[in-house]
Amino acid sequence: MSDAELVLRSTRVITPEGTRAASVAVSAGKIRAVLGYDAEVPSGARLEDLGDDVLLPGLVDTHVHVNDPGRTEWEGFWTATRAAAAGGITTLVDMPLNSLPPTTTVDNLRTKKDVAADKAHIDVGFWGGALPDNVKDLRPLHEAGVFGFKAFLSPSGVDEFPHLDQDRLAQSLAEISSFGGLLIVHAEDPHHLDAAPQQGGPKYADFLASRPRDAEDTAIAQLIAQAKRLHARVHVLHLSSSDALPLIAEAKREGVRITVETCPHYLTLTAEEVPDGASEFKCCPPIRESANQDLLWQALADGTIDCVVTDHSPSTADLKTDDFATAWGGISGLQLSLAAVWTEARRRGHGLEDVVRWMSARTAQLVGLDQKGAIEAGRDADFAVLAPDATFTVDPAALQHRNRVTAYAGKTLYGVVKSTWLRGERIVADGEFTDPKGRLLTRTN
Distance of closest approach, residue 238 Cβ to Zn ion, in angstroms? 6
Distance of closest approach, residue 368 Cβ to Zn ion, in angstroms? 20
By beta-carbon proximity to Zn ion, the closer residue of 311 and 354 is: 311
Distance of closest approach, residue 63 Cβ to Zn ion, in angstroms? 6
User: Rg for the chain (alpha carbons), in Å?
Assistant: 21
Estimate the crossing angle of helix 135-143 against helix 106-116, to 10 degrees: 50
As separate numbers, helices (DSSP H) first and strands (DSSP E) second, the chain gives 13, 18
The reply on whether position 261 binds Zn ion by CB under 5 A is no
By beta-carbon proximity to Zn ion, the closer residue of 150 and 426 is: 150
Distance of closest approach, residue 429 Cβ to Zn ion, in angstroms? 30
Binders in 339-358 for Zn ion, by CB under 5 A: none
Cβ atoms of 149 and 185 closer than 8 Å: no
By beta-carbon proximity to Zn ion, the closer residue of 137 and 311 is: 311
The residue of the chain with the least Cβ separation from Zn ion equals: 311
The reply on whether position 306 binds Zn ion by CB under 5 A is no
- The one segment of 190-198, 242-250, 278-286, 305-313 that binds Zn ion by CB under 5 A: 305-313
Distance of closest approach, residue 240 Cβ to Zn ion, in angstroms? 12
By beta-carbon proximity to Zn ion, the closer residue of 34 and 296 is: 296
CB-CB neighbours of 47 under 10 Å: 12
- The one segment of 5-13, 96-104, 303-311, 428-436 that binds Zn ion by CB under 5 A: 303-311
Binders in 171-190 for Zn ion, by CB under 5 A: none
Total number of residues binding Zn ion (CB under 5 A)? 1
Distance of closest approach, residue 194 Cβ to Zn ion, in angstroms? 21
By beta-carbon proximity to Zn ion, the closer residue of 29 and 285 is: 285
Rounded Cα distance between 272 and 274, Å, is 6
DSSP string, 236-263: E-S---GGGHHHHHHHHHTT--EEEEE-
Q: Quick check: helix, strand or coil at residue 87?
A: coil
- The one segment of 253-261, 311-319, 331-339, 393-401 that binds Zn ion by CB under 5 A: 311-319
Distance of closest approach, residue 84 Cβ to Zn ion, in angstroms? 15
- Label residues 327-359 b or e (16+ Cβ within 10 Å = b): bbbbbbbbbbbbbbbbbbbbeeebebbbbbbbb
By beta-carbon proximity to Zn ion, the closer residue of 188 and 311 is: 311
Cβ atoms of 380 and 29 closer than 8 Å: yes
By beta-carbon proximity to Zn ion, the closer residue of 282 and 423 is: 282
By beta-carbon proximity to Zn ion, the closer residue of 241 and 371 is: 241
The reply on whether position 311 binds Zn ion by CB under 5 A is yes
Rounded Cα distance between 30 and 103, Å, is 31
Distance of closest approach, residue 237 Cβ to Zn ion, in angstroms? 6
Closest CA to 381 of 1, 3, 2, 7: 7
- The one segment of 30-38, 45-53, 170-178, 309-317 that binds Zn ion by CB under 5 A: 309-317
By beta-carbon proximity to Zn ion, the closer residue of 188 and 354 is: 188
Closest CA to 89 of 312, 346, 366: 312
Give the type of residue at 262: T
Rounded Cα distance between 59 and 84, Å, is 9
Pairing of strands 30-36, 18-27: antiparallel
Residue ranges in contact with Zn ion by CB under 5 A: 311
